[in-house]
Structure 1
Amino acid sequence: MKTVLITGATSGIGEALLARYHQQGFYVIACGRNREKLAAYLDHYEHIQVLAFDMTNKDETEEAVKTIEQLDILILNAGDCAYIDDARAFDPELFSRIVTTNLIAPGYLLHYLLPKLTSGGQLVFISSSATILPFPRAEAYGASKAGLDYLANSLRIDLTRENIAVTLVHPGFIKTPLTDRNTFAMPFMLSSEQAAREIFDGVSRRKQYLHFPWRLTLILKFLALLPDVVWQKVITRNTEA
């Protein structure tokens, strides 16, 4: 039985991935901060281990994962989103919190868990299609996810000799507790279950890059080819509250 570890497994895409991998016969290590939700998983699923910890705390992360002996797939899914509402009054605490959660914390996990990935194993980064184009108010979120993109793409090169595949995932708008807070239009939204199916299928094929829904990501990629003044007007008009 293969083992997959999923961070952010108590809601949204992470929870849907847990259900998907369990259904497909994997032993799942579910990570998160919601202890009550994690405890409920033990009653609902077989072949599951739960780890409750704050991944932004390096020492807590080390303690939580030290009993893990071997992994076949490591999915770095956990993340957070908050917006810079006033760019002139830039919020350094918010910026630091989002970058720490989305970029620094995965570094802690990589330090402790990469040595546990088997040869032939897989490393999966859940990033965002927001890195295709800059969005208003997304300075913190976009910067953190752009950093995650670079991290994934660079690691792919260095881990080739270890026979470890790296998959970078760019979801569009997915219905989760995070997107429920958004007040702007979110076209072509998918459910968490649809996103989990896309990710599972792509990772099973050891794809290097996944992006969905196609209608949204292809539009963003097309806009990125246009002069700045054009796509900036389009993005600003379609993200206003």
Structure 2
Amino acid sequence: MVTRTVLITGATSGIGHALYEKYVAQGDNVIACGRDKSKLDKLCSKAFKTLVFDMTKPAQIESASVDIKDIDILILNAGDCRYIDDAKHFDGKLFNDIIATNLSSLGALLEFFLPLINKGGQVVFVSSSATIVPFPRSEAYGASKAGMDYLANSLRLDLVAEDIGVTLVHPGFIKTPLTEKNTFDMPFLLSSEEAATRIFTGVNRRSKYLHFPKRLTLTLKLFSFLPAALWQSLILRK
């Protein structure tokens, strides 16, 4: 089996860490990325390389990319989730922070890492099933992930000539440090390990689109075809 070089952002926790473990076990060279050096240091024994940078600081990403020669799979997984709790008194700073972390940062990540991807390689965008239908309090998070969706789907068209595939991932509720803060019900909750297994399998198949668990995502897709008034009444029902 050919050894691949896999770069993963957000590799110190949640889905990113589970993917790190999956690719390391496969024997691939994993470049683990994060902003917490102390957490990355714990991965050094098995990681091919570790890169420390804040995704919202392009200069740090550029500096971190200098020693990377080539990449086979680029997994853009890191992100943040915070909610707009009072829509009328809209928190513009929170909104901008989430957009900067989840969406704007992708520009610099692609600028410095995309040119390093080998022909036949892949870019994987870990988005969210929250983009299928709108949810209350999710103005910032949902907008950032919807932007990621469009970016991934558009980039896929332009990378055909480069023989680089693009995989867009819509996970449902996954047990991570981010979702542990949620105070609402999370139906069909999966572990990070289960999510990583599904992503790993789909990327190996060079799937263009992954969504799971289907009990949730197909239900949301069905709801998206309902009249807006009916969907709104369902989502707002206490």
Between the aligned partners of 1:124 and 1:235, the Cα distance in structure 2 is: 30
**Higher helix fraction (1 or 2):** 1
Amino acid at match of 1:201: T
Give the aligned partner of residue 77 of structure 1: 77
Does residue 131 (structure 1) correspond to residue 131 (structure 2)? The answer is yes
Match of 1:32 among 28, 31, 34: 34
Question: Which residue does 2:57 correspond to in 1?
Answer: 57
Residue by residue over 1:204-236, the C-alpha shift from the partner in whole angstroms, topping out at 9 and shown as x without a partner, is 000000000010001100100111111112222
Report what 1:16 is aligned to.
Answer: 18
Letter in 1 for 2:36: N
Any residues of structure 2 matched to 1:46-125 within 5 Å, and which?
47-125=47-125
Paired with 1:8 and 1:160, the residues of 2 have a C-alpha distance of 27
Return the alpha-carbon distance in structure 2 between the equivalents of residues 187 and 95 of structure 1: 26
TM-score by length of 1: 0.96
Q: Distance in 2 between matches of 1:236 and 1:152?
A: 30
- Matched residues, percent identical? 62
Q: 1:42 Cα deviation (Å)?
A: 1.3
C-alpha deviation, 1:150, in angstroms: 0.1
- Deviations 1:124-160, CA, capped at 9 Å, x for gaps: 0000000000000000000000000000000000000
1:204 maps to: 204
Is 2:173 aligned against 1:173?
Answer: yes
Distance 1:168 1:236 in 2: 28
CA distance in 2, matches of 1:28, 1:234: 43
Q: Is the deviation greater in 182-191 or in 228-237?
A: 228-237
Indicate the RMSD between aligned Cα atoms, in angstroms: 0.8
**Secondary structure, in 3 states, of the residue corresponding to 1:170?**
strand
Q: What is the letter of the counterpart of residue 210 of structure 2?
A: L
Alpha-carbon deviations, 1:1-28, whole Å to 9, x = none?
2100000001000000000011111100
TM-score w.r.t. structure 2 length?
0.98
SS in 1 for 2:121: strand
Q: Which residue of 1 aligns with 2:146?
A: 146
1:227 equivalent in structure 2? 227
2:112 counterpart letter in structure 1? Y
Residue 48 of structure 1, CA deviation = 2.0
Q: Report SS of the residue matched to 1:133.
A: coil
Distance 2:21 2:236 in 1: 37
Equivalent residue number for residue 44 of structure 2: 42
Q: Distance in 1 between matches of 2:193 and 2:39?
A: 18
- CA–CA separation in structure 2 for the residues paired with 1:221 and 1:89: 31
Secondary structure (helix, strand or coil) at the match of 1:42 reads: coil
State the AA in 1 paired with 2:23: Y
> In structure 1, how many angstroms separate the alpha carbons of the residues matched to 2:118 and 2:153?
19
Alignment gaps of 5+ in structure 2 = none
Q: How far apart, in 1, do the equivalents of 2:95 and 2:116 lie?
A: 31
Flag structure 1 segments of 5+ consecutive residues without an equivalent.
Answer: none
Aligned counterparts of 2:118 and 2:33: Cα–Cα separation in 1: 19
